[in-house]
Amino acid sequence: MKALQFRTVGAPPEVVHVPDPEPGPGQVLLKVTAAGVCHSDFAVMNRPAGGLPFDLPLTLGHEGVGTVAAVGAGVTAVQEGEAVAVYGPWGCGSCAKCAEGKENYCLCAHALGIRSPGLGAPGAIAEYLLVDDPRHLVPLDGLDPVAAVPLTDAGLTPYHAIKRALPKLVPGSTAVVIGAGGLGHVAIQLLRALTPARVIALDVSDEKLRLAREVGAHEAVRSDAGAAGAVRELTGGNGAEAVFDFVGAAPTVTTAGALAAVEADISIVGIGGGALPVGFGRLPHEASVSAPYWGSRGELLEVLALARTGAVSVHTETFPLDEAPLAYERLHAGTINGRAVILPNG
């Protein structure tokens, strides 16, 4: 089969032929219908040589949906032909966190060498994807595969961060989304669907600011040294009760801290390497800062249920598998509006 692989540190990914995978006992083979392209893959591909926690080559893609093509011995939970989405953060399935469905925070995945697809295990940007256990699968139940596939990360990750902040997002409050890209443009819609908060989006690109308004941001502000002042002005000096930074670089985490209100929740979701010091007097009183990772299986069910109500519409641009390297090039150049989705089988 064809697959998109990260083969050399620092080099672009390549489309190559690899052997067709076969499901062993307990495993499920998916024919991949759609696979999303996440900005995190650049962090994966740019780790210093020798600093990789997995072997190369690696088939990329940690957002996947497909149909069940075959099941291994003992699998009864899914049937051939069923349309499913993949819950990507794979854990051990039995520790205290996994028992809560929080496999994103599995206590022993690292020690057991368990890796997520596209982040160590072979990923979804391929004609077929091997899934280790049917518990990693969630029925699509009528959702369009292309529109749904980004929800498994670009939807689930902001959903998890927003859910934690819901008690702060009361009527009259403000939520700020920094970076209206793949994750951010879904975050804006989730905030509008789940909260009465006023939503302010920050980005460096006019096109992304336009998309932010289109998907529901009340205000769209250029992300520069004046952004925090602009948000304070828009909030009568109070700042924002919740801040979601989908860039996470030094200048954006500084902005996040500077525009936060007292008792604000600041979530640093982007992996841009920035750090926001916490200590008395450093931030408004009782502001809390966290750096969440992905979301739970239960939260993925909730995001998909919300999508079935029509409350979230992901902007997608599709590419055939042969053009997947172009999708990465365009994402890197900042010219994908919404999420790039690869169609490995057509």
**By C-beta, is 72 or 155 nearer to ligand NAD?**
155
Which of Zn ion, ligand NAD, none is residue 106 near (CB under 5 to 8 Å by kind)? Zn ion
Task: Report in angstroms how near the CB of residue 128 gets to ligand NAD at its nearest.
Answer: 24
Task: Report in angstroms how near the CB of residue 161 gets to ligand NAD at its nearest.
Answer: 8
Calculate the CA 225 to chain-centre distance: 27
Task: Report in angstroms how near the CB of residue 154 gets to Zn ion at its nearest.
Answer: 7
Instruction: Break the chain down into helix, strand, coil percent, rounded to 5.
Output: 30, 25, 45
Alpha helix positions (H), the chain:
40-45, 96-99, 109-112, 145-148, 156-165, 182-194, 206-214, 227-234, 250-258, 297-308, 324-333
Q: What is the 3-state secondary structure (H, E, C) of 164-183?
A: HHHHHCCCCCEEEEECCCHH
Task: Report in angstroms how near the CB of residue 327 gets to ligand NAD at its nearest.
Answer: 11
**By C-beta, is 256 or 307 nearer to ligand NAD?**
256
- Please give the size of the binding site for Zn ion, defined by CB under 5 A: 8
Task: Report in angstroms how near the CB of residue 110 gets to Zn ion at its nearest.
Answer: 10
Q: Which residues pair with 68 in a beta bridge?
A: 30
Q: Does 9 bind Zn ion (CB under 5 A)?
A: no
Residue 291 CB: number of other CB atoms within 10 A?
16
Structure-token pair, residue 12? 């672009």
**By C-beta, is 83 or 156 nearer to ligand NAD?**
156
User: DSSP letter at 121?
Assistant: B
CA distances from 308 to 6, 142, 282 (A): 34, 8, 42
Binding mask 113-152 for Zn ion (x = CB under 5 A): ----------------------------------------
Task: Report in angstroms how near the CB of residue 158 gets to ligand NAD at its nearest.
Answer: 9
Which of Zn ion, ligand NAD, none is residue 98 near (CB under 5 to 8 Å by kind)? Zn ion
Q: Are 90 and 122 in contact (CB under 8 A)?
A: no
Residue from 106, 131, 227, 269 binding Zn ion (CB under 5 A): 106
- The residue written with tokens 């042969």 in the block is 322
Position of minimal CB gap to ligand NAD = 181
Which of ligand NAD, Zn ion, none is residue 123 near (CB under 5 to 8 Å by kind)? none
Structure-token pair, residue 231? 């948000």
Report the site for Zn ion in 17-46 (rule: CB under 5 A).
Answer: 38, 40
Residue from 52, 70, 78, 95 binding Zn ion (CB under 5 A): 95
Residue 135 CB: number of other CB atoms within 10 A?
16
**By C-beta, is 18 or 52 nearer to ligand NAD?**
52
Q: Quick one: CA torsion of 180, 186, 189, 194, rounded to 10 degrees? A: -120
Binding residues vs ligand NAD (CB under 6 A): 38-40, 43, 153-154, 157, 178-184, 202-205, 208, 223, 246-249, 251-252, 269-272, 293-294, 331, 334
Q: Which residues in this chain contact Zn ion in the complex, by CB under 5 A?
A: 38, 40, 91-92, 95, 98, 106, 153
